């Protein structure tokens, strides 16, 4: 069983109390809590630990929450996954994201679950969205395990000041929380970014990876090359195209989206790092609602999905808000769903303008594993 809960109460204790009431009856092995940054992380961590003492409690601050059929701001949402769905759970913390070697120690703590059957074990990764170090954590994690880690970067209601995470009673910053779930019935990964190829390529020929900046594309100043690619006459005009025309590192037909953030002189700053010498495709936005609907239908074509964790990029949420479509988006999630609007998404690597989701499957003795 997977249960979800929502509280819009302003007082943190009251809000967590409401979540606990709504989640009653679930013998949870893990409870995920996603909370607006107006709540104090230490209080959330403590109260969550107290409310679900038998379960692991993990979560992070958001820039908007997602719960079955509703998108909110300023609230708290939670998902309780019971022991029949997640038979075993291990949690570890990467306490300092600026040192990727700390991932090794965290992985040691995750123990045997980290090397379990790939169809029955899935990882969740939550990272500080203002650390600027998500690539390094995902990179090292990918070195150390073949398990799929899905997740997102914590938000702070677009203040870009400070985000937080929680893990088993502790409040954290500049940290990553790793969890591995043994899910005997299996799971499916949904990754949807709602972009198609625009038919133009840009190859970074000079980058500053640490600053997530491209200095030159194809030997030209990055600002000039991007303006040419999108057909903009000025950088101001080009800047207005960032959301609809990011670039994608193509894995076959699958883009790993890199979203431009701002021009920095003639350089172009991104929300995640890009590699020098690897061609990127200019992307064109498509319909988030139609793409999401299709992705969900494909993932649940046999009706086995019983709950969804959704890590949806804040830029997608902003686009939905601009089009007044958040309600329609939320209604696509009629199954028990929880998640949040992120400052970055994770699936194998760190990506932008994407929704990464874990679809948990129900226990069904006759069904094939995922």
Partner 1 sequence: MKGMQEVAGQVLVLINKLIDARAKGNPTVASTTRTKLLLKGIKAESWTPSSADDPAMLAKVRDVAREMGVAI
Please report, as ranges, the residues that interact with partner 1 according to CB under 8 A: 118, 135, 138-140, 142-144, 146, 148, 249, 251, 256, 275-279, 348-349
One-character DSSP codes across 42-75: HHHHHHHHHH-TTSEEEEEEESSEEETTEEESS-
- 27 vs 117, beta carbon nearer partner 1: 117
Q: What is the DSSP string of 166-199?
A: EETTEEESS-EEEEEEE-TT-EEEEEE--EEEEE
- Confirm if 150 and 310 have CB atoms less than 8 A apart: no
Buried b (16+ CB within 10 A) or exposed e, 241-266: bbbebbbbbbeeeebbbbbbbebeee
Minimum CB separation from partner 1 for residue 85, in Å?
22
Max alpha carbon distance in the chain (Å)? Answer: 61
| Closest CB 19 distance from partner 1, rounded Å | 35
Minimum CB separation of residue 120 from partner 1 in Å reads: 13
Tell me the C-alpha distance between 95 and 100, whole Å: 10
Cα torsion angle, 332, 335, 340, 345, sign = negative
How would you classify the pairing of strands 28-36 and 56-62?
Answer: parallel
CB 4 within 8 A of CB 78: yes
Instruction: State the minimum distance, in angstroms, from the CB of residue 149 to partner 1.
Output: 11
Find the shortest distance in angstroms from Cβ 24 to partner 1: 38
CA distance 214 to 311: 26
Strand order in the sheet with 149-153: 88-94, 176-182, 121-127, 149-153, 345-347, 349-351
* Residue pointed to by tokens 């709950």: 307
Q: Looking at residue 353, what DSSP letter applies?
A: S
Which residue lies nearer to partner 1 by CB, 17 or 142?
Answer: 142
46 vs 140 by CB, closer to partner 1: 140
User: Looking at beta carbons only, is 67 or 357 nearer to partner 1?
Assistant: 357
| Number of neighbouring beta carbons within 10 Å of residue 225 | 20
Of 198 and 348, the one with the shorter C-beta distance to partner 1 is 348
Closest to partner 1 by CB, 168 or 208: 208
**Nearest distance, CB of residue 146 and partner 1, angstroms:** 5
Nearer to partner 1 by Cβ, of 88 and 276: the residue is 276
* Closer to partner 1 by Cβ: residue 12 or 352: 352
| Min CB(349)–partner 1 separation in Å | 4
Nearest approach in angstroms of CB 261 to partner 1 is 19
- For tokens 């880690």, what's the residue? 149
For residue 65, give the 3-state DSSP assignment.
strand
Give the shortest CB-309-to-partner 1 separation in angstroms.
Answer: 19
Of the pair 144, 196, the CB lying nearest partner 1 is at 144
């Amino acid at each position: 069983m997977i249960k979800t809960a929502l509280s819009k109460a302003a007082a943190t204790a009251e809000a967590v109390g409401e979540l606990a009431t709504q989640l009653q009856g679930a013998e949870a092995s893990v409870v995920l809590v996603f909370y607006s940054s107006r709540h104090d992380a230490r209080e959330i961590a403590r109260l969550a630990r107290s409310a679900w003492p038998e379960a692991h409690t993990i979560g992070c601050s958001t820039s908007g929450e997602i719960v079955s059929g509703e998108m909110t701001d300023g609230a708290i949402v939670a998902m309780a996954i019971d022991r029949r769905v997640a038979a075993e759970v291990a949690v570890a913390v990467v306490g300092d994201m600026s040192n990727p070697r700390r991932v090794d120690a965290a992985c040691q703590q995750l123990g045997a679950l980290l090397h379990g059957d790939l169809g029955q074990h899935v990882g969740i990764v939550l990272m500080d969205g203002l650390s600027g170090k998500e690539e390094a954590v995902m990179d090292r994690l990918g070195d150390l395990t073949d398990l799929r880690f899905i997740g997102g970067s914590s938000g702070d209601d677009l203040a870009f000041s400070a985000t937080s995470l929680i893990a088993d009673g502790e409040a954290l910053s500049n940290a990553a929380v790793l969890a591995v779930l043994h899910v005997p019935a299996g799971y499916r990964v949904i990754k949807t970014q709602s972009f198609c190829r625009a038919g133009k390529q840009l190859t970074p020929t000079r980058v500053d990876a640490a600053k997530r900046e491209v200095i030159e594309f194809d030997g030209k100043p990055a600002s000039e090359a991007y303006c040419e690619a999108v057909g903009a006459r000025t950088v101001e005009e080009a800047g207005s195209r960032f959301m609809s025309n990011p670039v994608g590192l193509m894995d076959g037909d699958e883009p790993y989206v890199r979203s431009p953030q701002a021009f920095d002189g003639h350089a172009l700053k991104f929300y995640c790092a890009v590699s020098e010498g690897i061609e990127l495709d200019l992307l064109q936005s498509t319909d988030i609602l139609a793409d999401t609907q299709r992705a969900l239908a494909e993932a649940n074509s046999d009706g086995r999905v019983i709950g969804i964790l959704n890590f949806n990029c804040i830029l997608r949420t902003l686009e939905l808000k601009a089009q007044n479509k958040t309600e329609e988006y939320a209604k696509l999630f009629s199954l028990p769903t929880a998640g949040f609007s992120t400052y970055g998404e994770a699936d194998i690597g760190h990506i932008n303008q994407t929704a990464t989701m874990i679809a948990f499957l129900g226990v069904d003795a006759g069904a094939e594993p995922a």
